[in-house]
Structures are given as structure tokens and as C-alpha cells.
Structure 1
Amino acid sequence: MANPALQIAGLASSILGWIGTIAVTVMPQWRVTAFTPTSANLVTAQDFWEGIWMQCVFQMTGQQQCKMYDSLLSLSPDMQAARGLMCVACAMGFFALIITVVGMQCTHCVENERTKAYIAISGGVMFLTTALLLLIPICWTANAIIRDFYDPTLGQERKRELGAALYIGWASAFCLVAGGALLTCSCPPKDTYQPVRSAHPLSQPKMTVQPRRTVTSPSYSMREFV
């Protein structure tokens, strides 16, 4: 039998991870860099933010300008794959949330307890799949940033650092894994069959007594032996 407290804790952790997944998808701080231009005409420090949908320039004076990417093909392969995987992860988390709520022990959408347990397990597996879809673009982008940062052939203006969106993505993936693991612990109840016995004497099966047969030995007369 599933523990309702574990299911509620798993659902809360999964919802937190799903909200973090949506936040990571729309945040532009995937790749960030901060430097001070050395030119005499430019004396304002700037931060460059690059996300999967837009690129922003944040100045220390408080001005911020964001621009959507003109073409998808102009992005790096990791950023192109991140768009599709993050959208699929957000949709997967939404359907996993609906399925999990249907299979919760505290809801009455389904009356059969065994069926509800299987539905909750399915929701937990979908949350684990969402965490995998989230980790792939996050780790891929982080690997590309670290590789380019230590590449001596790239100029300083092209090097980027890990943004806040990547750290939020790792934390969201951890919440999704923890929530999915708790939901998959919703084991279905075992089918136990015990025959019902009544104490009333009339309800007991009647036993038929077979009549006792008497064996008679044959009688012999003395004349037969003479």
C-alpha cells in the first residue's frame, strides 16, 4: 500500500522541479560573460547574456537590451538541441503532473486502489524522464562552455562562463529525480485471497455417512466334506 505522505512529498518536489524547468527554458543566463572594454571611447562595463531564445546586453548603468535570435541555424549545435529538449521536458512535466494527481491516494478520480498505484508509478517514471530531458541540454551546454573557455585559439571576447540558468537546471533535475523516485515507490497492494468461514453450523457443508457394510462369512455344512 502506498504511503500518502510519500506521494505528497514526491509530488511537491516534482512540481518544484517542473517550475524550475520552465524558468530555465525562458531565462537568458545560459552563457554569461563580464568584461571591461579597454577602448578609450567605451568606459562602461557590460554583461552579455546568451540563452536559447534571446541574447541580452546588460550595462552597469541599468540599461538592458534583449534581442531574439534571427536564425536558428546561427546557433551552436548544443543550443539548437536545447530548444527542442527543453520544450519536450516542459510538456512532459505537465502531463506527468496530471497523471500523478489522478493516481494520488488522496484523490478520488479512480476507485480501484491497485489501478491508482499503477497510475502514480507512471507519473513518477514520467518525472524521471523529464529530469533526463533537462539534464541532457544542461550538461551539453556546460561542457561546451568549459571547452571553449580553455581553448587558447578563441579570443577573450568569445569566451563565456556558466550562467545562473545552468545551476537552476541542475537543482531542478535533482528535485525531479527525488520526486519521481518517491512516486515510483507507490507499490500496488497485493491480491490476497482468504476464504470466508461462517460460524453458523447450518452453513458448514454436510457430510454424508455411508452405510456400514457387514461381511458375512459363508457357512459350510459337514455333509459337504463327507
Structure 2
Amino acid sequence: MGSAVVQMVCVALGVVGLIGIVVCCAVPLWRVSAFTGSNIVTAERSQEGLWTTCVVQSTGQQQCKNFESLLDLGADRQAARALTIISGMLCCLSLLVLFCGSDFTTCLENEDIKPKISLVAGVGMLLAGILVIIPVSWFAHNTVRDFYTPLLSSSPRMELGACIFVGWASGVLLIIAGGLLCCFSRPKQGSSGGKAKYYSNSASAPNKNYV
């Protein structure tokens, strides 16, 4: 029962982490305009994501434009696209594997193979968490570096958007879920893949007549 509860908690953490990955991939809030200086009243603010860049007017109107050329993008954005998509796919696959090998489902009747399947799902969630943290941290590092670069002081500065923090939180949740699965997905003691048979000495040893 204890392992089943842990697995249900890991499923919940995995689903929340997957939602966070989808939000990071779709919402253009990786980098936003920074309101610095004495004049804080601006007519528009910029937002950048993995696929689009948007300009939000003070009236609430928003205009977005897709990045036209993939080769014209920076290395951080290209890596973020690939790693975020791979992380989402790996998280989905890990959740499906966990459902099949969990103790609270009846997809598999073999109790000896369930811990191994849960362990595979845990490793997949760990990798998914690491894969989403890497591009988010790289993107955040470049944003902070450009913000404090003296050569860019005259141009509009950009700061960290909400998707950076959502990506960090999603990665941490997936790492926690994967770590719990790896710790609790251990084969039961005494399991040998089948039912053990015991024979008494009188039944196994043949009758012999001693002179």
C-alpha cells in the first residue's frame, strides 16, 4: 500500500510537471521588457518565447510574429526548442509506463516485474526534469548577461519571464517524482519470479532399506 501511495503522488507530480513543460513551450514569456530608469510609463512592452515574439500595447492589444528563420535564432533558443519538446515527450512516455507498472492498476499481473517498470518510469522522469532545466537555465543565463552588458545599455533591456520560473519548478517536480520512484521501486524480498515449492525430507528422499 505504501508504494502505491508514493506512485500516485509521483503521477500527480508528473502531470503537474508535464503541464508546466507545455506552458513553457507554448507561452511567449521567456523574456520580457524590463522597466528600468526614471520613466516607468511605456506605451508597449515586448515578450519573447520559443516560437514567437509579441508586442503588447498599453491598450491591451497584442501583436505576435513567428520567428521566420530557424538558422537565424540563437543557440540557446534552438536548444530550448529541442530539449523542451524532448522533455515533454519523455515525461508523457514515463507517465504511461508508470500507469502500466504501478501497484494501483491491474495492467500487469506479474508482481515481480512491476518494480522494474516503475524504476524505468522514474529514470525517465529524472531525465525529463534535467532536460527542461538545462535550456531554461541557459536561457536565463544569457538574459541576465545581456541585461548587465554595458554595450546594450541604450537598447531596451529584457529580463526573465514567467516561463523561466515555471520551467524551473516543473523540472524540480519531475526530479522529485523520479527520485521517489527510484527509491521505492525495489523488488520485493524473497521474490524469485515464481512460486517457491517446498518438499519434505520424507517426500523427496527415496525409501531405502538398510541391512
Deviations 1:47-78 (A, max 9, x none): 10000100011122111111111111222210
RMSD: 2.6
Q: Is the 8 A contact 1:128 1:177 kept in 2?
A: yes
Partner in structure 2 of residue 217 of structure 1: none
| Residue identity in the other structure for 1:176 | L
Cα distance in structure 2, aligned partners of 1:192 and 1:75: 54
TM-aligned CA deviation for residue 111 of structure 1: 1.1
Q: Tell me the TM-score normalized by structure 2.
A: 0.87
- Give 1:56's aligned amino acid: C
Report the TM-score when normalising by structure 1.
0.82
Residue of 99, 102, 110 corresponding to 1:101: 99
**Equivalent in the alignment of 1:21:** 21
What's 1:222 paired with? none
Counterparts of residues 55-134 of structure 1 (less than 5 Å):
55-134=53-132
Corresponding position of 2:187: 188
How many residue pairs get matched?
Answer: 206
Tell me what 1:219 maps to.
none
| Aligned counterparts, 1:131-142, within 5 A | 131-142=129-140
Asked whether the equivalents of residues 95 and 121 of structure 2 are also in contact (C-alpha less than 8 Å), the reply is: yes
Tell me how far 1:190 sits from its aligned partner.
Answer: 2.6
What is the alpha-carbon distance in structure 2 between the residues aligned to residue 68 and residue 35 of structure 1? 24
Q: In structure 1, what residue type is equivalent to 2:59?
A: T
CA pair 34-45 structure 1, distance change in 2 beyond 3 A: farther
Alpha-carbon distance in 1 for matches of 2:71, 2:126: 30
TM-superposed deviation, 1:97: 1.1
Counterpart in the other structure of 1:5: 5
Structure-2 separation of matches of 1:89 and 1:136: 10
Q: Report the structure number with the largest CA radius of gyration.
A: 1
Q: Is the 8 A contact 2:34 2:157 kept in 1?
A: no
- Does the CA-based 8 Å contact 1:102-1:109 persist in structure 2? yes
Contact 1:78 1:141 in 2 (8 A): yes
Q: Which runs of 5+ in 1 are unaligned?
A: 212-226
